[in-house]
């Protein structure tokens, strides 16, 4: 249970230590919190909100890359780069299947 709490608590920390709530830096946050921070940011950018429309996938992708080494763990961003094409295929197929 403590591992889950850690992810919930620390997924807004930043690699450079400028995040919140604790200002943790680099590997001071758990692997899963660092991984979740990328997933959460990408999901937030690519989902429409009441106050703005979703960003295009390419723009959100660029924003993640721009955060490499500052906002996000650089090794995990490298992994994100590798899996992104497969995720784009999944995203396209999902939306094709669920068109209304």
Q: Spell out, as residue ranges, where the chain has pLDDT lower than 70.
A: 95, 100
Question: For the whole model, what pTM was predicted?
Answer: 0.89
Q: Look at residue 100 in the predicted model and tell me its pLDDT.
A: 59
Give me the domain span that covers residue 77. Answer: 2-97
Q: Look at residue 90 in the predicted model and tell me its pLDDT.
A: 84
Exposure class string for 25-57: b at 16+ Cβ within 10 A, else e: eeeebbeebbbbbbeebbeebeeeeeeeeebeb
**CATH code assigned at 63:** 1.10.3210.10
In total, how many domains does the chain have?
1
Q: Look at residue 10 in the predicted model and tell me its pLDDT.
A: 97
Q: Look at residue 98 in the predicted model and tell me its pLDDT.
A: 74
């Amino acid at each position: 249970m403590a591992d889950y709490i850690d992810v919930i608590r620390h997924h807004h920390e930043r690699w450079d230590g400028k995040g919140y709530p604790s200002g943790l830096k680099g590997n001071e946050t758990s692997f899963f919190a660092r991984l979740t921070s990328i997933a959460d940011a990408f999901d937030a950018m690519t989902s429409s909100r009441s106050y703005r429309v979703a960003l295009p996938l390419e723009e959100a992708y660029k924003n993640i890359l721009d955060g490499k080494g500052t906002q996000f763990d650089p090794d995990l961003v490298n992994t994100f780069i590798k899996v992104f094409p497969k995720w784009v295929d999944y995203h396209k197929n999902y939306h094709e299947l669920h068109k209304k």
